[in-house]
Amino acid sequence: MPYKDGKTWRATRMIDGKRKSRRFPTKQKALEWEASQNAAVWEEEKQDVLNDLIPTVSVRDWADATLDYVKECEAPATYDEKQYAFKRLVKRLGGDFEVESITPALILNHLKAERRERSPNAANKDRKCLSSSWKWATINVEGFPVVENPFRISPRFKEKRTPRHIPAESDFWAVYEMAEPQDKAMLACFIYLAARKTEIFRLTWSCVDLVRERIRLSTVKTSDGSEKLSLLPIVPELKTELLAHWERSKDRSGHVFRIPPGPKFSNPFAGQPYTSRQHYLGKMCTRAEVTRFDWHSIRHLSASILFKAGHKVGVIQRILRHENPQTTVRYLHDLGFDPEMEEAMRITFQK
């Protein structure tokens, strides 16, 4: 029952041993408040307070947290992929859009728009990047909603992939013959080491042992994003190229391959390691009058040469530095080879 307390009326209510009290200007207001109080109301008020304490995560918050982690702990290519995926999602939803308001229907509409505007393959790539980012955030971002991943449950789109062009050996060597001395050494590293582009661009002289004929390549293309080191033999042809390049090099303390100074004007990037060389091979293929191929195509060509030479899938896997042997099998299938079928026919019909 309310009672007079100075110039106001104090209302008091006790439920399950807990007591609440409030002041009102009139006795009627105090009576109404006491009548409205019950356990359900108190529980609702408690939840409201707790909800206010839990931070709300926006799409921009999610993107910033994810990209900060990826930039520090994963490969640069992974960072670029996720950065572009988030950029398109922020453009569609807005950076302040709350993550807890994201629904599977909303994500499907976003991916369908990406499919129309870009391609099914591009939409599927965004789906993969954002799905893994959502999974990471549920564990590592405070206040991130722990609900079913809306990207994972969105269906993949059917893709129309253009097969990668793998050059003939003669086409590769035609390009090689037209290259400058440093570029010949670089191309030799790609073909003889079945190397990834980043492995060669990041290669330093400290990883090249011409005496013991060994070379150490590093890659971060592993399942957990950690760096993996691989030791490979230097075949005589590659040793010749690297030895000549070593003798030409003025600075042997850093990267093996550096951007040379311009022939007619100073190059502000001269002396720095390569990061892309996106257009180099295309121009060289045009000059050599062969069908264009890219850096990664040379890696596929190396796999083809190894398989034609009769090496087992397990050996090719080690040379290509694949963690999963099925990746090597896929490489060979893309090249038109079926190792299991060829082995079965060889055993069955050999005399």
Superfamily of domain 169-349: Intergrase catalytic core (1.10.443.10)
Instruction: For residues 249 and 319, give the distance between their C-alpha atoms in angstroms, rounded to a whole number.
Output: 28
Burial class (CB in 10 A: 0-12, 13-18, 19+), 59: buried
β-pair partners for 13:
20
**Residue 310, Ramachandran bin (φ over 0: left; ψ between -120 and 50: alpha; else beta):** left
C-alpha distances in angstroms, 103 versus 109, 120, 147, 332? 10, 21, 10, 40
The domain locations on the chain are 3-53, 59-140, 169-349
Residue 14 has pLDDT above 70, yes or no: no
The rounded mean pLDDT for the chain is 86
Q: What does the pLDDT look like over 26-85, one tens digit per residue?
A: 888 877 767 777 767 656 666 655 555 556 789 999 999 999 999 888 877 788 999 999
The average pLDDT across 201-226 equals 85
Task: Using pLDDT thresholds of 50, 70 and 90, give the confidence band for residue 227.
Answer: confident
Residue 285 has pLDDT above 90, yes or no: yes
Domain 59-140 falls under CATH 1.10.150? yes
Residue 210 has pLDDT above 80, yes or no: yes
Which of 61, 80, 62, 59 lies closest to 71, judged by CA? 80
Q: Edge-to-edge strands of the sheet including 18-24?
A: 3-5, 8-15, 18-24
Q: What does the pLDDT look like over 97-128, one tens digit per residue?
A: 999 999 999 999 999 999 999 999 999 999 99
Residue 247 has pLDDT above 70, yes or no: yes
Helix or strand run (H / E) with residue 46? helix 39-53
- Does the pTM of the predicted model rise above 0.85? no
